[in-house]
């Protein structure tokens, strides 16, 4: 709650769904971000450690879609994505992929059962001969 409220108080107009690296890394942006980050010294462990931050919340972690950012900046933006619903599309996409993978796994299991049954029949028919 504190991170999000401070973030939106200081960066209310920042478009977070697709981030502009200049709004995070330019000299003027650093001057604005620095006081925000320092508010969390002693509050958030390793607040200033570097971490990878996605620029486009609808995309995954790729070389083109990531920048290096302080941990508190990462947390503020990720929390805003979650609170403002931007990560819903990513979550739905992951769930769709998991559902498709489960369907494929289920088909493979069915095939394995058939294969096992055929092998058992061969053993039985050899026993009868």
Close Cβ partners of 16 (under 8 Å, ≥ 6 residues apart): 57, 77, 80, 81, 84, 86
Inter-residue contact 34 to 73 (CB < 8 Å): no
pLDDT tens, position by position, 64-83? 999 999 999 999 999 999 99
Q: Looking at domain 2-83, which CATH architecture does it have?
A: Orthogonal Bundle (1.10)
Q: Which helix (H) or strand (E) holds 15?
A: none
Nearest to 58 by CA among 22, 92, 94, 86: 86
Q: Kindly tell me if the per-residue pLDDT of 125 is higher than 70.
A: no
Structure tokens, 36: 């925000």
Close Cβ partners of 115 (under 8 Å, ≥ 6 residues apart): none
Task: Please tell me the pTM assigned to this model.
Answer: 0.70
Inter-residue contact 80 to 13 (CB < 8 Å): no
Cα 55–Cα 63–Cα 100 angle in degrees, nearest 5: 80
Domain boundaries, the chain: 2-83, 88-129
- What is the average pLDDT value for the chain, to the nearest integer? 83
Confidence class for position 88, pLDDT limits 50, 70, 90: confident
């Amino acid at each position: 709650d504190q991170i999000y409220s401070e973030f939106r108080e200081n960066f209310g107009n920042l478009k977070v769904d697709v981030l502009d690296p200049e709004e995070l890394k330019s000299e003027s942006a650093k001057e604005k971000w620095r006081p925000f980050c320092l508010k969390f010294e002693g509050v958030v462990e390793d607040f200033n450690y570097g971490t990878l931050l996605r620029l486009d919340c609808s995309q995954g972690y790729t070389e083109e879609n990531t920048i290096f950012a302080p941990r508190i900046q990462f947390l503020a933006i990720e929390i805003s994505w979650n609170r403002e619903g931007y990560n819903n599309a990513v979550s739905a996409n992951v769930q769709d992929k998991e559902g498709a993978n489960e369907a494929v796994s289920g088909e493979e299991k069915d095939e394995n059962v058939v294969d096992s049954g055929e092998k058992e029949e061969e053993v039985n028919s050899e026993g009868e001969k």
